[in-house]
Structure 1
Amino acid sequence: MAELNSLEELGASVTGTEPEQQEAPVHVRKVDEQGRSYATGKRKNAIARVWVKPGTGKITVNGRDFVTYFARPVLQMVVQQPVVAAARQGQFDVVCTVVGGGLSGQAGAVRHGISKALTYFEPGLRPVLKKGGFLTRDSRVVERKKYGKAKARRSFQFSKR
């Protein structure tokens, strides 16, 4: 058995490669026949299917303009965050269908989907979007109600007498 002096040598012995040969993964461009990139975004119980293609910057959600679908300005800002962070305003058309959850969760799902689709269309944007935290799926969901409790954690009111 060979003597191992560092963690890199241990990793090399397990994978069968030299430690200097391992390099960062290469992200390839994923585009369909119509020149679109597809991604799925999720947030709470909402799921968004997002297609990104070169265009004029129009964002459509469930067949309607995103300004009419997400009436609150905060939600409109959330949907536009990845495009603004990548400095690609007015360059991509976004078409998405979103189901489940409420408006806030749906806006978060659309944001997540747009971010992933942008990285598939243009892999060079990945570091910018990753640094902004747009590629991370927010895994927080509503906690289930437990038996013997009024809500998920709240107990019934205690009565001494």
Structure 2
Amino acid sequence: MAQGFEVLQKVSGQVAAAASGEAAAPAEPKIDAQGRSYATGKRKNAIARVWVKPGTGKLTVNGRDGTVYFARPVLRMLINQPFQVADRVGQFDVWCTVRGGGLSGQAGAVRHGLSRALTYFEPALRGVLKSGGFLTRDSRVVERKKYGKAKARRSFQFSKR
């Protein structure tokens, strides 16, 4: 009977260790032959394909410099947030292509893709970026226009007479 109790105790200890994540192997980086990590980011109708590799902090968007493409300081700040939270400012070169949407949506898509690419390159950063909300896809998109309405919900002006 005592032997059965020891086996049960050992098995329950293994289950507890697996549940706490101690026995699980750490995630391995997903890096291609050129030393880059790739991820896709989305925001509104914009889709960004983002490649991240170690470098000097250079940002290239659609073949243009990041400061030229995203001229507004707010958009550049938005893109740099994952680096600041992860304490990796100036350590990675970013090359991305963006399609669809406006500049604000494109900046959000680049931020989302950049965060995902950083987690693929350095899996230890996942917790920090996840707690900052950078890995969550913002699913808010423009609502479609309905027939019989001026816009999505706005009615035409009512005339009593």
TM-score bracket for this pair, using the shorter chain length: 0.7 to 0.9
Deviates more, 1:102-111 or 1:19-28: 19-28
Q: CA deviation at 1:96?
A: 0.3
TM-score normalised by L of structure 1 = 0.85
1:144 aligns with 2:134: no
The residue type paired with residue 45 of structure 2 is N
Higher helix share: 2
TM-score normalised by L of structure 2 = 0.85
CA distance in 2, matches of 1:35, 1:69: 25
Q: CA deviation at 1:84?
A: 1.1
CA distance in 2, matches of 1:19, 1:35: 37
SS at match of 1:48: strand
Q: What's the counterpart of residue 127 of structure 1?
A: 127
5+ unaligned residues in a row in structure 1: which ranges? 1-17
Deviates more, 1:118-127 or 1:19-28: 19-28
Q: Which runs of 4+ in 1 moved over 4 A?
A: 23-26
CA distance in 1, matches of 2:38, 2:59: 14
CA distance in 1, matches of 2:82, 2:107: 12
Q: What's the counterpart of residue 102 of structure 2?
A: 102
The residue type paired with residue 33 of structure 2 is E
Q: What's the counterpart of residue 86 of structure 2?
A: 86
Q: CA deviation at 1:19?
A: 5.3
Aligned residues: 144
Q: Tell which structure's C-alpha radius of gyration is larger.
A: 2
Q: CA deviation at 1:56?
A: 0.7
Q: CA deviation at 1:23?
A: 4.9
